[in-house]
Structure 1
Amino acid sequence: MKNIRNLCILFIISSILLVGCSNGENTDIKKGENTDIKKEENTDIKKEFNLKNTYSTRYGEANAITYPSFSFDYPSGWKITNEEITPTSEKVVLSNENGIEVTYWYFGDMKELTGTTRNINLVDVTKIADASFVPEYVQATDYTSLGNFIVGKLDTKEQCDMLGDGVFQKVEDDLIRYALLPESEIGKKEEMLVPGLPTFSFWYSGHISFIAESPTGKFTEREEKEVISILSSFRTSKDENIDNNSNFIKSIDDLWDKLKGKWKFEEYIMNGENIGNEEHVLELRYIDNKPALSRIYDEQDVNIFFYDFSIADINHYTAYVYKRDEYGEKSPANWGDDVVVVSYSFDLTNISNDILSIDYKIMFDNGFIDTHTYKYSKIK
């Protein structure tokens, strides 16, 4: 403890930038042996706590990139009170009538959470329940080494104000929170509170923090059970929505088969404004065994090739033309240095009426997404 106190004083004098939460040690798991068990546990939790409502995150869909959607369940008496999505983050706040908040926060702006801080907490992390979340591959990176996930009880024992006397003071009445964490995070932790950055997060191609907090630092017995059930229900959305639903289109080849044939151009919209006539015929086909979208004009064909595919929901699918620093030599060389992603998003909402809508999107470093919408009718 003496070393920690001395460290606080040193921070005051030198204004050192502090590193935020640790990702913890890696622990190997056998994913195949755990997935079915986790799903059974999640079903039992939903029944026990009457978790009738489900929320799914939308960061990947909103930014037209390949990033998984996550879901969590919550009971009656709780409601979503805030939703924010930016090119680098997503924040969702779930609240009850007493001001208890469960906050999901995806923060993808930096690998290390660093910045000037005033306060440090000493927190005792203990396991309170198992969690449903099973880490997988994200953006070609394997995260199964994160190990088993738990709902952890975060009990703040001491606090240090670095602009005060720089000494850790015991908290007279423990301040309690609950969080979704890898099991490796159990133990005593130093929590650096940096304004605008999450704490007790884990790295999953971006920081994910999922924490329940009370304005008083206290929970009733019922509130404790409810927040534990909410946190433990967290899982990748596709686990139940895609894998077990035959109506989903699960590959770019399946999408091309669904949309085979020719489509007549009907409308072109940019930034909400109808631009005008671009008479052409659209065809999804293969050129040199590669999936391509062809715009067929009177005198020429314009062919666009795709190298990746993602699922937003049962009616929306995205195929990617370009991702900076990916695809190697296959990636087009004519995009500017400020272009991050180029994609086509297919809206099949009205496909039963032979209507197809496609959003062509270019995402830039500054977060701007240039969107062009094309609407087509099926040629019979």
Structure 2
Amino acid sequence: MTESLSPRENPDLIGHEDAENQFLDSWIGGYLHHAWLINGPKGIGKATLAYRFARFLLAHGERSQSEDAGPALFQEDEIPTAIPNSLFINPNNPIFRRVASNAHSDLKVIERGLSDDGKRMQTIIPIDKIRAVGQTLSLTASEGGWRVIIVDGAEEMNSNAANALLKLLEEPPPNTVLLLISHMPGRILSTIRSRCRQLRLSKLRPEVVETLIAQQLPKVSDPDRQTLLHISEGSIGRALDLASGDGVSLHRDLLRVMKSLPSLDMDVAHSFADKVARRDADLAWRTAVELASRGVANIVSYSIRENGVDGRGYLSEEVACLEKLSAMAPVHHWINVWERNNVLFARAENANLDRKQVMLNALTTMANVA
């Protein structure tokens, strides 16, 4: 498997041309909004788009800066430069390289960091990070052009941080654009949302995800690629995470467990739980939790499908299992299982519970649904 590029390093964006054109058109027209809320499902390219916006502004921001200059946009001896037709910046451009290495002084990124002990990621974005950026905005832009602030995971701000950001939005600094990224915009203060231009990104089309998987995971076999395409559900980010977390193998293992229900095969269950519960297997654990939650969600969707079709689609090896499990109990019982297991998985994360026992409890809850 090839190493995938982070959003700040990725020069390409596929599947979100409409969103890109909205930003480009507003820049060309000279009415660029000072704050954008880029929202949509996880792993579809929101951060990649935000960095694409940022690089473009840092390289070409002078057009919208001149929007108040009136008709004399150019001096007599000036020749207008060609208007860009995309947000693409060549990776060899010095601005691209500086953004990729987090070395551009006029780009600030606000996101969760490591906890004080350096062992875990913070669960929230604290106010200190907003204040630090706010202080730099009181100064002149280092390079005399635009400044860009990216808030990656805007729903993760605590209340104090959100209120501090709101003040920045209410009194936006000149020549500054804020790009908020969120997969759960409903958790963001309504007063923040109302001050942002909304840019909703949709799931990627299957053919786009398949192309991206083939590009970034060229060594994956065709059957495994189809499994990744299916279980990633329109998210290339999720597909890459699943591949890194041995998602295809774990999906098959979990399907074996589910096929044994309601008489839970404890040998198979223990083998699965052992595989994902090791403390050095954080990615495998997160992948297994996601797959277990998805497995129950599939039972629910299969149970309530209309005329045998719900548009979700299932792998051929899943259908017989879903047919059997959906007939075991009414759909509201499976909804209860989904809710209980998700609460259990959240507690395991927050309270540092024994992972093997948590997974076994979740599988037992599924077995006892009937």
Query: Does TM, scored on the shorter chain, surpass 0.5?
Result: no
TM-score by length of 1: 0.28
Q: Which has the higher strand share?
A: 1
Q: Which has the higher helix share?
A: 2
With CA pairs under 8 Å and 6+ residues apart, which has the higher RCO, 1 or 2? Answer: 2
TM-score by length of 2: 0.28
